[in-house]
Structure 1
Amino acid sequence: MAKRTAIIDIGSNSARLVIFEKKSRYGFNLICEQKSKVRIGEGAYEKEGYLQPPGIKRAFLTLQSFLHTINKYQVNQTLCVATSALRDAPNREAFVQWIKKELGLAIKVIDGNKEARYGAIAANNLLPVKDGITIDIGGGSSDMALIKDGQIVDTYSLNLGTVRLKELFFDKGLTPEVTHEKATAYIQQELLQLPEHFRHALAIGIGGTARTLSRGIMRQTAYPLDKLHAFSYEIENHRSYLDAITLSSAKKLKRFGLKKNRFDTIREGTLIFKEILAHIGAERVISSAVGVREGVFLEQLLKRDNLKFPSTINPSIVSILDRFKPMVTLEKRRKARQKLASSLYSVLQKDIGDDKAYENELQYALKLSGIGKTLTIYRSHQHAFYIAMQELNYGFTHEQILLISLLLRMYGKELLNKPLFEQYKPLLPEKQTLLWLSFIYTLTVLLHEASNRADIRFTYENRTLRILSDKPLHLVKEKIKALEKPVPFAIIIEDEKSIPKNTLLGI
């Protein structure tokens, strides 16, 4: 696969460019993202779908600019897809051929089912979900996919889009109530075409409308983590908020905490989203910051893997390790450290009693424990925290992201950073559990760094943790003495002594 791949997505409302850089077999990261509100479908829905000159001109200038960026980044491969507005346009072939001739860019016009499938590929690989229905509301269509047990089982495309509804109903000068009534009837009629098996309690929100609403809800609720991807909410708790947006006048939209650049189509999008959620019986929404563009990229990356990352692979973890290259790079050493932590977690279960519920998060933190030293050894644990908070995006819940990041941050004498704990408390395990996990993480790192590949075992009886080693652990003893403990207990180290028996001390 090409080292750098550019994906251009031409939608009815916006055109976007993303450039991914591939570092290893499964490691990749986003290195460039650009967007332009081309509104290529503007005026088309009232003109039998024909693309109109203003939209065509904006699209041309945007694509021309994208190609300059692609050239600057020395991209190896460029893929361009176009969705609803172009596929509905009788003059699409003339536009596609014109762009090919003038700019040398090949545009692939995809149908609604393909668009839905791309979004589902992205969500299925990059969100912590195995089941649900993806909903991607664009300017001209709403594309949906049904995911069951990690497999995409069906797709469907509805002629419901924000620009389409705006031109058919919201731009007619009617009162908000009358507009709402007519548009709702139109949406509900279209939804009758959706196959009966498109029913699920979890909706996966893809695209601008879903992201904008999630951002608004995050602001309304003072959500502690500023990360949209994998943010989730219960629909019933925010039903009145969604209802109010659909009935609002354009001038009053600012009171909902929404981005101003979404005001022109957010009422239409919210109404479509709300009606789809009700129709499929959704109870919860999880937000996706990935969609068609990531799906196009992953289709190529994972074509030999049945379009799914292997169960042992998390793309965020791979990407971080590829780019920040922690000192513990040998797989054998990494596995030894993880085995050490697992053993310690097991023997301490007598006091912890959580059935090792957080072992995955603990193991991921240990995999990443050296990433901060890539920048500098001083305060490397703080650097590791910030790297993890920014880069742990794919396949994790917000709770997991925070726990892994805070374990990386809490390396040292104290097991809990109180300001961070208070800031993110609603998304973290209870305090005592966090103290135990931090203790296990910190002790494992200390032992592994100072043990020189020793064979280390643990026992825990009568509130005494014994650390048995076949090699000296002199350097770690002082640090362990100063280490805070989750509860009072003794730590005894029984290691091989490093001083030869016949040595005369003091000479």
Structure 2
Amino acid sequence: MKDKYGIIDIGSNTMRLVIYKRDKSGRLKEIENVKSVARLRNFLNHDEYLTENGVHKLITTLSSFRAITDFHRLTEVKCVATATIRQAANREVIQELVQKETGYSMRILSEYEEAYYGYLAVVNTTPFTEGITIDIGGGSTEITYFKDKELVEYHSFPFGALSLKKQFVNSELPSQNEKEEMKLFINSQFQLLPWLREKKLPIIGIGGSARNMVQIDQAMKNYPLAGLHLYEMPPEDIQLLGLYINSLSFDKLQKLEGLSKDRAELMLPALMVFDELVSITKASSFVLSRKGLREGIFFEGMKNPATKGTNVLTDSIDELAKDFEMNMENVKHVTGILICIVDELNRLKVLSVNVHERKELKRAANVFHLGEYIDAESSSQHTFYLLANRTIDGLMHKERLKLALMASFKNKTVFKQYANPFRNWFTEDELRALRLYGAMLKFCYSLNATKRNVVEKVEVTLEEKGLLFHIQSSRPADAEEYQAERQKKHLEKLIKYPIHLRFY
């Protein structure tokens, strides 16, 4: 089907089929995600040939994927293979067999392509313009350095979580000596890249090992927000997590919340790689990107690769507005009223809204009460839940929560109810500012209650009796006046000035 896209990712540890469908906005949404722990790396013999059993495992898994892609009537499925197939001496024979037995044209990615697609996904779905990416696979580890959203350096190491386990660990979990040997090896490999040293940048992790590490961290912290994309960990938390996992028996590790059972024996090698990279780069933080190689391949084929002018967040907010059928003409009009009032209150020194806060306000105006799409009566609740729990490319978790609190504003009581589980995320001043901005948004939307865009201009003067809003409209605005009179109380309490409205 034209609106569905499939990709098969043949990794060294897992094979995965993902099917995407386009939303109204053009955003790709996963509708199927089928994983098979094939561990093809274990079938690569000493002569670097994929054994007969390994080829059989590959073909039978792909045949099972074929049944799913046929069911979805996909006319084209991208099928890509990474390190194990790339390193196999019999890769050409494997390619021919895959084509003959399954009908899939298997593309073997080069080291550069594997690194490039990870980078491409990161710069198109995160707010970072400079950073280091790492994708630990089963048989290789790809690292890139990008600046101004442009790829500057890349390297593919011929080791991954599964190959490290095979090379250094004789049991389910490494002994102390095995851990020390593995640590020395990983460090020596990273030392080969002088461009990694003391970069003091965020490390952006891609792939299953990074995802599992973050899931464990969230579970241990009882993290109150949904979503993994753009979850941030301070470097010291990776060390703490390593110490905790080192203390567990293999049986307990398999039952650890957040960790896939099939990755239990690979978690420690992966953690050691992350920890060494953070140490050598003096990383400012570790951030997870849920978007990686598969998304990177689609970005290459469906949109222009990221440039310096690409605005990931603007695109994401536009997608939200389209998906929830926001009337953009009305949104633009209300945003104009909002900025007009902000400028007036700044001029009078009633408020001091800076450039960054103006951007946040405009962003929230674009999605204010988008929950009306689901139910008008409970739009506030739906708005908060949707914005707080939906992945928004370009927004870190705290910023996403701020957007949700502003765009869902109804009143003080409801605001406190939403904010309560996250009180330790904000200072009292920050919470007060978010409540003020939410109240401003609600007031401005009341000035367009009938959605006719009748209010043309707002001027504010400071009188003896308080603030006087001079509201000029092109047509009678009785409904707008009624709603604005009702909503101004929320603003009055926060700016500590009586507000008087004069419509003309």
Q: CA deviation at 1:442?
A: 0.5
Distance, in Å, in 2 between the alignment partners of 1:11 and 1:41 is 9
Match status 1:473 vs 2:482? no
Tell me the alpha carbon deviations over residues 81-138 of structure 1, each in whole angstroms, 9 at most, x when there is no partner.
1111111111222222111111110111112221111111111110121111001101
Q: Using a 3 Å threshold, how does the CA distance of structure 1 residues 241 and 310 change in structure 2: closer, same or farther?
A: closer
DSSP-derived class of the 1:264 partner: helix
Mapping of residues 263-412 of structure 1, within 5 Å: 263-303=264-304, 310-311=310-311, 314-326=314-326, 328-330=327-329, 333-349=330-346, 350-369=349-368, 371-411=370-410
DSSP-derived class of the 1:16 partner: strand
Tell me the alpha carbon deviations over residues 293-332 of structure 1, each in whole angstroms, 9 at most, x when there is no partner.
11011111223x5567733863432332333212x144xx
Distance, in Å, in 2 between the alignment partners of 1:185 and 1:260 is 27
Q: CA deviation at 1:171?
A: 2.8
Mean CA deviation greater in 252-261 or 230-239: 252-261
Q: CA deviation at 1:249?
A: 4.5
Distance, in Å, in 1 between the alignment partners of 2:357 and 2:297 is 34
8 A contact 2:207–2:290 mirrored in 1: yes
Tell me the alpha carbon deviations over residues 17-54 of structure 1, each in whole angstroms, 9 at most, x when there is no partner.
2223335786433333222212121242x533322344
Report the AA paired with residue 489 of structure 1: Y
Report the AA paired with residue 466 of structure 1: F
Q: Using a 3 Å threshold, how does the CA distance of structure 1 residues 391 and 237 change in structure 2: closer, same or farther?
A: closer
Mapping of residues 430-469 of structure 1, within 5 Å: 430-450=430-450, 452-454=452-454, 455-462=456-463, 463-469=466-472
8 A contact 2:197–2:282 mirrored in 1: no
8 A contact 1:10–1:81 mirrored in 2: yes
Q: Using a 3 Å threshold, how does the CA distance of structure 1 residues 30 and 251 change in structure 2: closer, same or farther?
A: closer
Q: CA deviation at 1:151?
A: 1.4
Mean CA deviation greater in 377-386 or 259-268: 377-386
8 A contact 2:233–2:286 mirrored in 1: yes
8 A contact 2:212–2:260 mirrored in 1: no
Higher helix share: 2
Report the AA paired with residue 60 of structure 2: L
Match status 1:78 vs 2:86? no
8 A contact 1:443–1:480 mirrored in 2: yes
Report the AA paired with residue 417 of structure 1: F
Report the AA paired with residue 295 of structure 2: E
Match status 1:4 vs 2:1? no
Distance, in Å, in 2 between the alignment partners of 1:85 and 1:378 is 55
DSSP-derived class of the 2:135 partner: strand
8 A contact 2:25–2:323 mirrored in 1: no
Report the AA paired with residue 468 of structure 1: I
Q: 1:34 aligns to what?
A: 34
Q: CA deviation at 1:460?
A: 4.6
Tell me the alpha carbon deviations over residues 251-303 of structure 1, each in whole angstroms, 9 at most, x when there is no partner.
34368644142212101111122122222232311111111011011111223
Distance, in Å, in 2 between the alignment partners of 1:402 and 1:129 is 19
Q: 1:494 aligns to what?
A: 502
Q: 2:245 aligns to what?
A: 245
Distance, in Å, in 1 between the alignment partners of 2:196 and 2:172 is 38
8 A contact 1:142–1:161 mirrored in 2: yes
Distance, in Å, in 2 between the alignment partners of 1:75 and 1:259 is 32
Q: Using a 3 Å threshold, how does the CA distance of structure 1 residues 356 and 459 change in structure 2: closer, same or farther?
A: farther
Q: 1:501 aligns to what?
A: none
Q: CA deviation at 1:244?
A: 4.3
Distance, in Å, in 2 between the alignment partners of 1:181 and 1:147 is 31
Report the AA paired with residue 419 of structure 2: F
Distance, in Å, in 2 between the alignment partners of 1:435 and 1:209 is 39
Q: Using a 3 Å threshold, how does the CA distance of structure 1 residues 321 and 167 change in structure 2: closer, same or farther?
A: same
Q: Using a 3 Å threshold, how does the CA distance of structure 1 residues 33 and 319 change in structure 2: closer, same or farther?
A: farther
Q: Using a 3 Å threshold, how does the CA distance of structure 1 residues 363 and 72 change in structure 2: closer, same or farther?
A: farther
Q: 1:90 aligns to what?
A: 89
Q: CA deviation at 1:237?
A: 4.3
Distance, in Å, in 2 between the alignment partners of 1:121 and 1:320 is 22
Distance, in Å, in 2 between the alignment partners of 1:322 and 1:476 is 26
Q: Using a 3 Å threshold, how does the CA distance of structure 1 residues 125 and 297 change in structure 2: closer, same or farther?
A: same
Distance, in Å, in 2 between the alignment partners of 1:465 and 1:171 is 78
Distance, in Å, in 2 between the alignment partners of 1:77 and 1:20 is 12
Distance, in Å, in 1 between the alignment partners of 2:125 and 2:251 is 37
DSSP-derived class of the 2:42 partner: coil
DSSP-derived class of the 2:105 partner: coil
Under a length normalisation based on structure 1, what TM-score does the superposition of the two structures give?
0.88
Report the AA paired with residue 384 of structure 2: F
Report the AA paired with residue 179 of structure 2: H
Q: CA deviation at 1:421?
A: 0.8
Q: CA deviation at 1:396?
A: 0.8
Tell me the alpha carbon deviations over residues 133-178 of structure 1, each in whole angstroms, 9 at most, x when there is no partner.
0011010111011011221112111122111011112135886101
Distance, in Å, in 1 between the alignment partners of 2:124 and 2:312 is 12
Q: Using a 3 Å threshold, how does the CA distance of structure 1 residues 19 and 385 change in structure 2: closer, same or farther?
A: same
8 A contact 2:313–2:394 mirrored in 1: no
8 A contact 1:137–1:162 mirrored in 2: yes
Q: Using a 3 Å threshold, how does the CA distance of structure 1 residues 81 and 283 change in structure 2: closer, same or farther?
A: same
Distance, in Å, in 2 between the alignment partners of 1:236 and 1:432 is 31
- Root-mean-square deviation over aligned CA pairs: 2.7
DSSP-derived class of the 1:41 partner: helix
Q: Using a 3 Å threshold, how does the CA distance of structure 1 residues 53 and 344 change in structure 2: closer, same or farther?
A: farther
Match status 1:426 vs 2:429? no
Q: Using a 3 Å threshold, how does the CA distance of structure 1 residues 234 and 450 change in structure 2: closer, same or farther?
A: same
Under a length normalisation based on structure 2, what TM-score does the superposition of the two structures give?
0.89
Q: Using a 3 Å threshold, how does the CA distance of structure 1 residues 58 and 343 change in structure 2: closer, same or farther?
A: farther
8 A contact 2:149–2:306 mirrored in 1: no
DSSP-derived class of the 2:459 partner: strand
8 A contact 1:132–1:204 mirrored in 2: yes
Mapping of residues 8-157 of structure 1, within 5 Å: 8-23=8-23, 27-44=27-44, 47-157=46-156
Report the AA paired with residue 457 of structure 1: V
Q: Using a 3 Å threshold, how does the CA distance of structure 1 residues 179 and 244 change in structure 2: closer, same or farther?
A: farther
DSSP-derived class of the 1:226 partner: coil
Report the AA paired with residue 65 of structure 2: F
